[in-house]
Amino acid sequence: MPSYFPHAGYGQMFIKWAADRGNTAKQRSYGNGAAMRAVPIGYAYDSLEQVAVQAKASCLYTHNCREAIRGTQAVASAVFMANHGESKDAIRNYLSRKFKLDLDYSIADIKAGYSFDSSTNYTVPPAIVAFLDSADYESAVRNAVSLGGDADTMACIAGGIAEAFYGEIPEELRNFCYSRLDYSIKSVAIEFCQKYKISLYK
């Protein structure tokens, strides 16, 4: 991917790993990149058990550590549950119990002291809370961005869960994002949405 989009803002560890094409060593990053890309997994499998297995598999070469795997599984599980009509309380309780996440606070409780840190443990729980505190897709994204910190990743996670829960992304936001995507990426996104009956393509 970096060869196609060399200036897309990759982390230094990922750039080094991707550039070494003969390197098959598993990386032990505890960053939030694996959790950020976990949203599609929640749509693509038929049970929470399979979602957890596939979320872990998605981590093994870039984020092969317990912290990153747990956060990735939590995000994918939240999307699965949201897409299957579970309530916010059910999602909160399951993630808290299964993945030992502290989700018992609001965005307002942590906003004043929040700072940049891209670790999974620091960013995934607030991103999930940003969804839990929301009234719709846009407010979930705004909640995440309002914290500052690693806002793009947290907004990606919160928005991904919110789309599954609320069933849509507002058309003007979707069109804005699609207008900035390369055709190859956009075509994959549209095909995925059509296959799994997501949002606009239900």
Residue ranges and CATH numbers for the domains of the chain are: 12-166 (1.10.4080.10), 168-202 (no CATH)
Q: How far is CA 28 from CA 25, 43, 71, 107, 123, in A?
A: 10, 26, 14, 29, 17
The pLDDT, as a whole number, for residue 23 is 65
In contact, 25 and 60? CB cutoff 8 Å: no
pTM equals 0.91
In contact, 44 and 54? CB cutoff 8 Å: yes
In contact, 32 and 158? CB cutoff 8 Å: no
Q: How far is CA 43 from CA 22, 23, 47, 95, 142, in A?
A: 32, 31, 10, 17, 23
- How many angstroms separate the first and last alpha carbons of the chain? 29
The pLDDT, as a whole number, for residue 2 is 52
Give the tokens for residue 133. 């505190």
Q: What is the pLDDT along the chain (202 residues), one digit of tens a residue?
A: 456 777 777 777 777 777 776 666 778 888 999 999 999 999 999 999 999 999 999 999 889 999 999 999 999 999 999 999 999 999 999 999 999 999 999 999 999 999 999 999 999 999 999 999 999 999 999 999 999 999 999 999 999 999 999 998 999 998 998 898 888 888 998 999 999 988 654 4
Which residue reads 């897309």 in tokens? 8
Q: Which of 113, 131, 133, 135 is nearest to 122 (CA)?
A: 113
Give the tokens for residue 145. 């961005």
In contact, 147 and 123? CB cutoff 8 Å: no
The pLDDT, as a whole number, for residue 15 is 75
Residue 60 phi/psi, 5-degree rounding, is -65, -25
The pLDDT, as a whole number, for residue 202 is 43
In contact, 46 and 67? CB cutoff 8 Å: no
Which residue reads 């599980």 in tokens? 77
